[in-house]
Amino acid sequence: MATKKNSFINGQEYYRLRKVVGHRVNEEGKEVPVIKNFYGTSKKDALQQYNEFMNKKKAGIDTAGQYFGIVADNWLHEFFLKDDSLASRTRDLYYTCWKKYVVPSNVYHMPLVDVSASVLQRLYNELGCPASALVNVNKLMRRFYKYLEREGLARNVTGSLVLPSPEKKPKQKQGENEIVVWTDEEAGKILGGFDKAQSGFRLRFLIVAAYYTGCRISELLGLKYEDFDLDNDVVIIRRQIVEKPTFDREKQTAHELGDDSLKTSASYRTLPMNEVFRQEFILHVAWHKEDQLKNGYRTNYVFTTSTGGFYYRKSAAQSLSRYYKRIGVEDKGFHTYRHTFGTNLCKKGVPIQIASSLLGHSDINVTAKYYISVGMEEKRRAVELLKNG
């Protein structure tokens, strides 16, 4: 049976569907319906086009004279922020850069049809943000314009955009070391000063674990007791605690702590425990059990607050800073433990491949910075070893 048609345009038959798609106020101040024609090869086809139009209109992305910011906001909240193919921290990073640098710009308030490649390039040139932030803005812009092109709302012009070259930093002077580490004296004070801290210093084992594993703080905060294997003297790194964004269009982006996957596949690793680390873990288990009974909470996580909750990095940093002040050591930041661990490995002559595996680096060139920064004395001792080979 032939498909019914009711319209003839340019020598071609179509099925025309007339539908009310909204309302407007006429010159007399009265509200009147807005009627739009939808043409298809069949009634079903025309109806599908109508439904697609209304869905887009409902999302605020297909109305005449639409503005860049309105379209972008709807895409961000209806699509991008719900895209689980991206890690939550990545979405948060892109979204934060967008709000900080694009939303306040003139482009955000322009009609979508007026935003050309030259307009976006001028935006990039004048943003004045850090190079890393501009990279994130560009990544999000490219995703946005792929969506616009796919939906037939705009041509993807991001392929012609060029990121301005960041200002070159002065060359590092020979012998200048960018790696901040704890000196042997500082490390001795930190690891030997627990008795000077308050009774039951909560972060004692966190310090020990950081010094003897070189783990990132997010990885340590994600440790559970089941990750420790005392029979084989190893600890397994398989998760991290991160601040996950919770998005609300009416409020500022909030964050809550929770489990997340690790940074890269190389970050999943099994690390050996030396005797000091092992004994400190046993002491921590006993102390933590008492603390749970005392404060009335239960947890499988190794590092928690006095209520059993996760530590925010800022809170942990403040607590550690108070400890350093008490024992007379300058606060250099938590990542110093990781730098110290990596540097100590290279000073002991550990092959770079093994050091890279212990640190969870996906690229051995990242590990190389610890070896490049080795002082002349260490290099001299290493050369001396060759005569015994």
Rounded average pLDDT per 10-residue block, the chain, 389 residues: 64 80 65 76 84 69 68 89 82 89 90 88 91 93 91 86 74 57 94 75 93 95 96 95 67 67 89 95 95 95 93 90 93 94 88 92 87 65 64
Distance between CA atoms of 386 and 146, rounded to whole angstroms?
58
- Which pLDDT value is given to residue 388? 58
Distance between CA atoms of 229 and 272, rounded to whole angstroms?
10
- Which pLDDT value is given to residue 88? 77
User: Tell me, which fold does domain 68-160 have in CATH?
Assistant: DNA polymerase; domain 1 (1.10.150)
Burial of 129 (0-12, 13-18, 19+ CB in 10 A): middle
- Which pLDDT value is given to residue 218? 93
Which phi and psi angles does 272 have, rounded to 5°? Answer: -75, 150
List, by residue range, all CATH 1.10.150 domains of the chain: 68-160
List, by residue range, all CATH 1.10.443.10 domains of the chain: 184-388
Q: For residue 48, give Cα distances in angstroms to 41, 45, 94.
A: 11, 5, 34
Q: For residue 290, give Cα distances in angstroms to 5, 202, 298, 306.
A: 80, 12, 11, 11
Verdict on whether the full-model pTM lies above 0.85: no
Domain at 184-388, CATH class = mainly alpha
